[in-house]
Amino acid sequence: MDDRIESLSDDVFKEQFADSPQLLAFWEAHFAGPENAVARHRLLEVSDSGSFSLRPWVDSLHTLQAWLDARGLELSTEDQFGYVGCAGESAGAAANLTHLPSLVADMLEAYGCERAVRRATPADSE
């Protein structure tokens, strides 16, 4: 797997998300470039180890991030991976028949995200 991770360039990912400007922008902000190498490697690990491929994972992480942003919350990248993974596991044996971003959205609506914390603002430091 490490060879695969190292051989994939940002251009490959850009091609995969070219049909979705939102997902491409999300990818570039959170996973592209050398500064995001650790997050990108971790994303590839979690997407390879489960029932869902890379694109549903990125789409699901985008869904989760939009929910957090709308509420002024933040969640560590690792906790975001955990949340999406948990949503995927909730599908059980039917995972290949389900839409991971929808599972995440349903889980957020039903349960919220207890590990998310309020995002610090400049006013907080005054």
Decide if 123 is inside a domain: no
Q: Which among 26, 120, 36, 109 is positioned nearest to 65, based on CA atoms?
A: 26
Q: Domain range for residue 75?
A: 2-118
Decide if 27 is inside a domain: yes
CB-neighbour burial class of residue 57 (10 A; exposed 0-12, middle 13-18, buried 19+): buried
Mean pLDDT for each 10-residue chunk of the chain (126 residues)? Answer: 52 82 92 89 89 91 98 96 93 74 95 94 65
Planar angle of CA 99, 110, 23, nearest 5 degrees: 40
What does the pLDDT read at residue 61?
Answer: 98
The amino acid occupying position 119 is R
Count how many domains the chain has.
Answer: 1
Cβ contact 79:115 at 8 Å: yes
What does the pLDDT read at residue 124?
Answer: 62
What does the pLDDT read at residue 84?
Answer: 96
